[in-house]
Amino acid sequence: ALPYDCILMDLGLPKLDGIQTFLAIKKIFKVHSLTMPPVVALTEYINHPLIEQCFELGMASVLFKPLKEHHISRLFSRLKQLE
């Protein structure tokens, strides 16, 4: 089992953006031969090139803030299907 069910990655972090943070985490998992849990990007803005980049880099999904409870419920249902 993975130590985490998923990672919620805010793309709008103040000092290190979410893409850079994701790539750093991905590298750590690879260096230690660990299985990367699904990563879900969180963003306030609908930015199609950024969304495409998230998927191209291997993120599992993108959610838009503010999050509603039903968004999170659907997310975890989808992630459970991927197991």
Name beta bridge partners: 40.
8, 61
HSE value, Cβ hemisphere, 13 Å, CA-based, for 78 = 14
What is this structure's pTM? 0.85
pLDDT, tens digit, for every residue of 19-61? 999 999 999 999 999 889 999 999 998 899 999 999 999 999 9
Contact 68, 47 (CB under 8 A): no
